[in-house]
Structure 1
């Protein structure tokens, strides 16, 4: 029954996940948009850790080697609600958005291997910004420029992990990214009957490969120490499409009426992603507690050939992230108290996104856009090892210095993780 319900669900959501607008951040203007960390709700509640952690029923989007320890077929999908507050040092605005964050299936293959595949958003574009220039009287607007964008990139992936030695597992993940992004700049001047608009419609696609390894060793007193590493190989995202420059008239309600096409050309660019390395270590007891530390590093991204790459107001530098988190279960087999069977998670994350922005001419003083978040969550057990997982994250990104925008956000994440009989296990008849 579960299998039939989720097959219908994936057919409904597979088209919707690529079309939804899941970001209202002005930073989604840059590159392919506001990028999402590829983590489950359980991982995000622990600061995003996962490279050294594996579990017999939970998915792991960080390290494909973790699927070597999977023992149950698991279906999981997650939702994200984002509340965002923007501050430019003078004006504050807020927004709210809800979106599907992933749909995935994982299953064991024998006793030493496991596999997963699914669909996830990679990035989202959803911004609307304006810049006004006052006339000589410093009161009336003489020129206004509107910047807007929408779209995003998603991915389908397949992961495989296998235990090659008693304490060592290896894994590989292959994915394919795809999506559409539209950006536009509209300029209108006082006293001029027609406005001008530059519009760019692009298609993004490309694949990547991630290699992973995990090592787990049992110590005294039922302690388990673990280590993990992943290497996401360098790859290119191909950007193709068309750009248009044309004149138009705009009525009082904002309606646009195109007039003459000034120019049109094809777009051919690249979003070059260098090698990304993630290392981590952890210590814990099975189904009792776990504490992990994780570090991620990537060299500067390179972009060529599409709209926001021609704007010298931003650049990319080296990015890195450090996360600390874990969980605690009071008593997983408690009969007297439901709350003793609940999984309590907590984590903290400090990230240098690699994005550098200069909010004023002549674009020589770039400021790093950093991200800091504190998270916690609950894993509420259901029947047959299934669970509902909730995650809460408070964080801030950016700064009001150098004419930039500071974002304060609250993310609420919810996932349903359902377990089913192992597809490759022979049923026994008594």
Structure 2
């Protein structure tokens, strides 16, 4: 019965992820939108670490080699609520968004391998910006859409302590952008629209190594390599004049142009490596370092040198967890997993200012709890993050955000076992 329920929820939530709007950030205006880092709620609560972490109770999206440690069929679903305050030098506005972040199923294959399949957002566009610097010219920027990734990953132990893994994914989605310009005392406004679909494959390789030290303490190391890929971007763009009805409805008039978009987006190699120390089912502390070369492309939505351009990006994260007593009978809170972490990121996005380009940086402070459920190994995970992206210097936008994340991790040791009737 539980298997049918999980499969039904999996199908329903995958549909919801594809259809949802995941972002309210003005920075999603650039490129193909705000990038989503593939981490679970448990990982995010520790600053996003995980490339070296081995955990048989939870999935790990950072390193496919971690599938080798799966010991039970695991269903994971995660979502988030974001409260975002957007600041300029003299004004601010608060918006919110709610979204599903992932849905995944993982299965052990024997005692030394495992496989996971799932769906995650890859990028998201969701902005509405009004520019009315003077009383004679008003410009409205709007965008929505994004891309998702469906994937399968496999990991296995090749020798004692060393596991290797591979992930194959397919990225797909659509992005719509528009710019509406209206002048005072001019009967017609003009509107520029672009609509394009994003498609392409992506592959990731990973490795993890665990070795025992003294006093039951283990040393962990790991690395993952998301290979460079080209995503196709095909669609159309057009510009036309329009007027408005008495109710505010747009009435298209003459068309200025209508042409096709046919380009690609180069997603470069991303390298993540990290180390950790820990005692199994007690505590863990680790650090990740991530590097990626500049995003590139040859189509109208990658306007390097005009409004923005891309540089190399990097991210450093440190975090861990602590469990007072995992098998405690007298105290529920002794069985709870307590998590915390920090994240520092140079996004690689450079936005054009008056005289130069300014880099957009991001950081986050994270805490979280893993709350055990009556079912063996299953738990509810909740995480909280306060972060800041961008700056109000040089007429840019600063975002202060508060994320509440929630996930459910259901584990079933009997998924593939045939039931017997006495």
For each residue in 1:317-347, what CA deviation from the matched residue of structure 2 results, as whole angstroms up to 9, or x when unmatched?
Answer: 0100000000000000000000000000000
Q: CA deviation at 1:254?
A: 3.8
For each residue in 1:259-285, what CA deviation from the matched residue of structure 2 results, as whole angstroms up to 9, or x when unmatched?
Answer: 122210010111101110001000000
Indicate the residue corresponding to 1:69 in structure 2. 69
Match of residue 309, structure 2, among 315, 330, 336: 315
Q: Secondary structure at the match of 2:4?
A: helix
- Native 8 Å contact 1:142 1:189 kept in 2: yes
Indicate the residue corresponding to 2:168 in structure 1. 174
Q: 1:311 to 1:6 in 2, by over 3 A?
A: farther
1:396 matched to 2:363? The reply is: no
Q: 1:253 to 1:288 in 2, by over 3 A?
A: farther
1:195 matched to 2:186? The reply is: no
Q: Secondary structure at the match of 2:215?
A: helix
Structure 1: state its 5+ residue gaps. Answer: 135-140
- Native 8 Å contact 2:41 2:382 kept in 1: yes
Q: 1:427 to 1:113 in 2, by over 3 A?
A: farther
Match of residue 358, structure 2, among 367, 381, 384: 367
Indicate the residue corresponding to 1:153 in structure 2. 147
Structure 2 counterparts to residues 301-312 of structure 1, below 5 A: 301-307=295-301, 309=303, 312=306
1:283 matched to 2:274? The reply is: no
Indicate the residue corresponding to 2:225 in structure 1. 231
1:351 matched to 2:345? The reply is: yes
Quick one: distance in 2 between partners of 1:375 and 1:143? 43
Q: Secondary structure at the match of 1:402?
A: helix
Q: Secondary structure at the match of 1:220?
A: coil
Indicate the residue corresponding to 2:128 in structure 1. 128
TM-score, normalising length: structure 1:
0.95
- Native 8 Å contact 1:289 1:328 kept in 2: yes
Q: CA deviation at 1:13?
A: 2.3
Q: Secondary structure at the match of 2:18?
A: coil
Q: CA deviation at 1:131?
A: 1.5
1:378 matched to 2:369? The reply is: yes
Quick one: distance in 2 between partners of 1:178 and 1:124? 12
For each residue in 1:120-147, what CA deviation from the matched residue of structure 2 results, as whole angstroms up to 9, or x when unmatched?
Answer: 111111101121242xxxxxx1111111
Structure 2: state its 5+ residue gaps. Answer: none
Q: 1:310 to 1:224 in 2, by over 3 A?
A: closer
Indicate the residue corresponding to 1:217 in structure 2. 211
- Native 8 Å contact 1:25 1:127 kept in 2: yes
**Corresponding pairs, count:** 421
Quick one: distance in 1 between partners of 2:415 and 2:303? 48
Structure 2 counterparts to residues 34-73 of structure 1, below 5 A: 34-73=34-73
For each residue in 1:52-100, what CA deviation from the matched residue of structure 2 results, as whole angstroms up to 9, or x when unmatched?
Answer: 0011121000000011111011001001101100101110000011111
Q: 1:133 to 1:390 in 2, by over 3 A?
A: closer
Quick one: distance in 1 between partners of 2:298 and 2:318? 35
TM-score, normalising length: structure 2:
0.97
Quick one: distance in 1 between partners of 2:248 and 2:298? 32
Q: Secondary structure at the match of 1:32?
A: coil
- Native 8 Å contact 1:239 1:306 kept in 2: no
Indicate the residue corresponding to 1:137 in structure 2. none
Quick one: distance in 2 between partners of 1:308 and 1:189? 27
Q: 1:398 to 1:191 in 2, by over 3 A?
A: same
Quick one: distance in 1 between partners of 2:276 and 2:300? 42
Q: CA deviation at 1:36?
A: 1.1
Q: Secondary structure at the match of 1:337?
A: coil
Q: Secondary structure at the match of 1:309?
A: coil
Quick one: distance in 2 between partners of 1:191 and 1:310? 34
Q: CA deviation at 1:421?
A: 2.6
For each residue in 1:214-261, what CA deviation from the matched residue of structure 2 results, as whole angstroms up to 9, or x when unmatched?
Answer: 000111211010000011110011110011111111246542111122
- Native 8 Å contact 1:71 1:422 kept in 2: no
Quick one: distance in 1 between partners of 2:379 and 2:198? 35
- Native 8 Å contact 1:213 1:229 kept in 2: yes
